[in-house]
Amino acid sequence: MKRYGMLLLFGVGMIIMLASLIILAKSTSNSANFESMHVWLVFLNAAAAVALLVVIGFNLGKLLLQRHRNITGSRLTLRLVGTFGVLAIVPVVLVYIFSYQFISRGIDSWFDVRVENALTDAMELSRTALDMRVRDLLVRTERMAHTLASTDSRQAGYQLDMLRRQNGASELTLLGGFNNRIIATSSANTESLVPDMPGPDVLLQVRAGNEYVGLDPVAQGGLHIRAVVPVSGGSAWWNRMSLQALYPVGGEQSGLADRVQGAYTRYRELTVLRGPLKLMFNLTLLLVLLLSVLMSLWGAFVAARTLVQPIQDLVEGTRAVARGDFTTRLPLPSRDEVGYLVSSFNEMTQRLAEARDSARKSREQVENERSYLGAVLTRLSSGVISFNAALVLKTANPTAGAILGTDLHQYMGRSLVGLAGEDTLLGQFVTACRRHLDADDKEWREEMVLQGPTGRRIFMVSCAMLPATGEVPPGRVVVFDDLTQLIDAQRDAAWGEVARRLAHEIKNPLTPIQLAAERMRRRYLPELKGEDADVLDRSTNTIVQQVEAMKSMVNAFSEYARAPLLAITPFDLNALVREMVELYRTREADMKVQMELDPALPPVRADAGRVRQILHNLLKNAHEALENRAEGQARIVTHYFRRGAEEVAELTIEDNGPGFDPGILAKAFEPYVTSKQKGTGLGLAIVKKLTEEHGGSIRVQNRAEGGAQITIRLPINEHTRSHALLGGIERRAGGRREAK
């Protein structure tokens, strides 16, 4: 809308300008014939110029303000407007200077001293030519006055008429009295009722007794010669009369005089109009040129804006792109180079947006894969760690830390070289790995046997080279599994099978042996006497007893191999401990057992019978270790603790006996491993089996001050137990030990 308004204004301005030019051209060709419309046109143009000036001033002010505020494109617009302005003003000023000179000279050339002199002379000649006649007519009029003086006033009218006809006058009037009244008149023009009266100055002159004669233009009558003479009749001055005679200046002489007068007047008029004419021309010229300059200035504004607008858009668009906004699409201004630039910009932003989108998508994909991998690694039962060529730890999943019994996050970004040689599980692990790294093995696989705090640990470790990135030497990823439990379980299963078969194979002949021995005793003991009877008695007794012992041993084997279902019920562990200790105290009077029971311990959900058996076995172990020791003392401790959702009951039995032989400490839980003379070697194996059936863990160690210490951890609630049964509790127990 605004654009159309501007165009309309521009069009109207152009039309006014053209009209001014045309009128100027016409005025030049017909200089004297100015129309009054020109004045209005000049004012109209001036008004248009003022309006344009206001518009340009407003625009310029706005532009300067924009420049001051450093708004984009204002500098370029200002420069363009300045250039356009100078380009328009310079030629226009030149044109004005030359045109002004041409106009001035053109008008001045109309006037020539010689022409003026000639005209003046012509006028003078006309007057001289008429003067002769004037004087002649004055004499004639005086003669008529003389004639009239002797005429009776009653015949004056008739006399006048006659005299007029005789002397060729157009009008004769006799005036008289105080008021110069018309006494009588005679006119050739019958239409005119009132005679043409002389001026007051003439009357005054005649009244003073003088004559008057002169040329006088008469209304509707052309040029006349007026002669007024006194009539010597009356004596008193108020009664004096005067005669006026009007003679037409006829014929060729009059026409010539008129033409000379006309030309002279015209010429004189022009001299007067010279100044105003010049002013008029210059003003019109100035206005037209001013309008041209202003229009071109305004055009400069419009053009600069049209030109700068897309550039301004481009600058804004570039800024938006720099800010990261790729959605900017600029309007296409035209099909020229600027338009091409703008369309290229639009294409660029579109491509940038597409590139950004695809980069974001691929990043998201990478993130997804990463989190997927992270989730997999977190839930993986294998430990995974990666490190670079300098053995700096890069990644480690939680399982790795749990298996190695340490929090690996504290080593993240640090070199593991320093840990080699340490006695910890991690230290041993690193040492074992370094052997391969030093040998520059690309990929390797090894079963490692390490010594952990809970005993021997068997890891299956495999290592692979990571793909090299750039010039950095490739790192490695190490995946390892803790096979200890698996191998233990396999071993336990094997032993169970052996025990079952042995029990079966051995138990079968035992009863016939026992029966046979008893029958022998019953049959032959009464028949024998003396020493024979004594031998038989002892032998059969020995057989029966040994068979009984063998039977109990076989039963123990069966017990170990047997795996009945657990009867899980909540029960008070402390009460069970107290009961068992009391039982031992009554049975084994020499045993000293000290109890430290945690009153905070809640009921434990477990198979009470099996726990009883665990306690029995452990107390039995302690008792056997303390046999024949004066200061022998056992200590039994219960402790309750919880970590998050896990609740654990810890049961520790220790003694001050000889402790475990270091050689068998690592294999203490394997069947038939015993340091005692008697005993099946199944006690601790059964304890471990029962403990693990409950999802618990067991740890055996020698105390620093001497004696053995066995610690059992049992999950209290179902949640902890199910977690532990999935294979975690021992590792967690190990971790906690580290944390403690």
Partner 1 sequence: MLRRGVLPALLWAVLLSLPWCGAARADEQPGFVIRTAYTELVNGVYYLDADVGLNLSDDAVNALENGLPITVKLQIEIIKHRSWWFNSTTATLTQSYQISFHALTRRFIVTNLNSGEQQSYSTYREAVTSMGQVSDLPIIDAKLLDAGAHYNIRMRAVLDVTSMPGPLQLFASIFKGWDLSSDWYQWVLVS
Q: How far is the CB of 122 from partner 1 (least distance, A)?
A: 10
Of residues 179 and 469, the one with the C-beta less far from partner 1: 179
What binding mask, one character per residue, do residues 84-123 give for partner 1 by CB under 8 A, x or -? ---------------------------------------x
Yes or no: say if 140 and 152 are a contact pair by the CB < 8 Å rule.
Answer: no
What binding mask, one character per residue, do residues 170-209 give for partner 1 by CB under 8 A, x or -? ---------xx-------------x--x-xxx-xx-----
Distance CA(563)–CA(417), nearest Å, equals 46
Is residue 257 part of the contact set for partner 1 (CB under 8 A)? Answer: yes
Of residues 38 and 699, the one with the C-beta less far from partner 1: 38
Q: How far is the CB of 89 from partner 1 (least distance, A)?
A: 25
Is residue 444 part of the contact set for partner 1 (CB under 8 A)? Answer: no
Of residues 115 and 204, the one with the C-beta less far from partner 1: 204
Q: How far is the CB of 117 from partner 1 (least distance, A)?
A: 15
Q: How far is the CB of 17 from partner 1 (least distance, A)?
A: 19
**Helices then strands, each counted (H, E), the chain:** 18, 17
Distance CA(674)–CA(730), nearest Å, equals 24
Task: Choose one: 272-280, 484-492, 540-548, 593-601; the region binding partner 1 (CB under 8 A).
Answer: 272-280
Q: How far is the CB of 218 from partner 1 (least distance, A)?
A: 7
Yes or no: say if 510 and 554 are a contact pair by the CB < 8 Å rule.
Answer: yes
Q: How far is the CB of 260 from partner 1 (least distance, A)?
A: 7
Q: How far is the CB of 178 from partner 1 (least distance, A)?
A: 9
Angle between the N-to-C axes of helices 251-323 and 37-68, in degrees from 0 to 180, rounded to the nearest 10: 20
**Hey, what are 430's tokens?**
């690193």
Q: How far is the CB of 131 from partner 1 (least distance, A)?
A: 12
Q: How far is the CB of 120 from partner 1 (least distance, A)?
A: 9
CB within 8 Å of 551: residues ≥ 6 apart: 507, 510, 514
Among 279, 468, 493, 566, binds partner 1 (CB under 8 A): 279
Amino acid at residue number 51: A
Q: Which of residues 125-154 bind partner 1 (CB under 8 A)?
A: 126-127
Strand runs labelled E in 197-349: 212-218, 222-231, 241-248
Of residues 20 and 540, the one with the C-beta less far from partner 1: 20
- Exposure on the CB side of residue 677, measured as CA atoms within 13 A: 1
Of residues 34 and 524, the one with the C-beta less far from partner 1: 34
**Hey, what are 271's tokens?**
């001299």
Going by their DSSP bridges, the two strands 455-465 and 444-452 should be labelled as antiparallel
C-alpha 46: how far from chain center: 51
CB within 8 Å of 417: residues ≥ 6 apart: 390, 391, 430, 434
Angle between the N-to-C axes of helices 484-524 and 683-693, in degrees from 0 to 180, rounded to the nearest 10: 130
Is residue 269 part of the contact set for partner 1 (CB under 8 A)? Answer: yes
Neighbours of 39 (CB within 10 A): 11
Is residue 666 part of the contact set for partner 1 (CB under 8 A)? Answer: no
Yes or no: say if 389 and 412 are a contact pair by the CB < 8 Å rule.
Answer: no
Task: Choose one: 52-60, 254-262, 550-558, 590-598; the region binding partner 1 (CB under 8 A).
Answer: 254-262
Q: How far is the CB of 214 from partner 1 (least distance, A)?
A: 7
Site size toward partner 1 (CB under 8 A) is: 45
Distance CA(50)–CA(192), nearest Å, equals 58
Is residue 215 part of the contact set for partner 1 (CB under 8 A)? Answer: yes
Of residues 194 and 322, the one with the C-beta less far from partner 1: 194
Element (DSSP H or E) covering residue 461: strand 455-465
**Hey, what are 313's tokens?**
């858009």
Q: Which of residues 20-49 bind partner 1 (CB under 8 A)?
A: 32-36, 38-39, 42
**Hey, what are 434's tokens?**
């370094």
Place of tokens 């030309």: 263
Site of interaction with partner 1 (CB under 8 A)? 32-36, 38-39, 42, 123, 126-127, 179-180, 194, 197, 199-201, 203-204, 214-220, 223, 257, 260-261, 264-266, 268-269, 271-273, 275-277, 279-280, 283
